[in-house]
Amino acid sequence: MTKKLFALLITLTIISTSSAFADWIVPASSLPENAKNFIHQIYPDAQIWKAERDDGKFEVKLSNGSKIDFLYNGEWDSIDGKYNTIPFSALPQTAANTIKNTYPNAVIIEIEKEWGNYKVKLNNFMELFITSEGQLMGQKFDD
C-alpha cells in the first residue's frame, strides 16, 4: 500500500513540476533554421530579444515589438506586430495583392494561419479571411 501511495505522490509531483515550467527561455540559436531565416527576411533590422519553447512550439519576441509564433518545424503560425506594420512579404504574393487591392491605404498589424488560409487584421480595424491563393473569403469590422 505504501509503495502505491509513494508512486502516486511521485507521479503527481512530476506532473505539477512539468506544468509549472512549461515555457522555457531558449537561446535564439536553438530556433529551427527556417524560422531564423524567416525573421531575417521579414524583419532584417530587428534582433531576437527573447525565444521561448513550449511543447515544441516557439514564441519569439523581436526588438521592434513584434511577436512571432513558430511551430516545431520552424513554420510561422502567427505574427503579431503589436500595432506595428507587418511587411506584406510575410504572406504569399497573391494574398498580399488581395489586401493591397481591397484596402490600398491599410497596413497589416496581425496575421494568423488557419487551415492553410490567413486571418489578417489591418490598422483600419478590418479583419480579412484570405486563401493562400489570394481569394477573399470574407471580412468583418473588428472593433
Distance (Å, rounded) from C-alpha 116 to C-alpha 123? 23
Cell, residue 77:
503560425
The whole-angstrom separation of Cα 142 and Cα 126 is 6
Matching CATH number, 85-143, of 3.30.310.10, 3.40.50.2000, 3.30.70.20, 3.40.1420.30: 3.40.1420.30
> What CATH number does domain 22-83 carry, 3.40.1420.30, 3.40.1190.20, 3.10.129.10, 3.40.50.10490?
3.40.1420.30
66-105 tens-digit pLDDT: 999 999 999 999 999 997 899 999 999 999 999 999 999 9
pTM for the structure as a whole:
0.82
Q: What is the mean pLDDT of residues 100-128?
A: 97
Indicate the DSSP class of residue 86.
Answer: B
- Helix (H) or strand (E) holding 118, with range, is strand 117-122
Q: CB-based burial of residue 25 (10 Å sphere; 0-12 exposed, 13-18 middle, 19+ buried)?
A: exposed
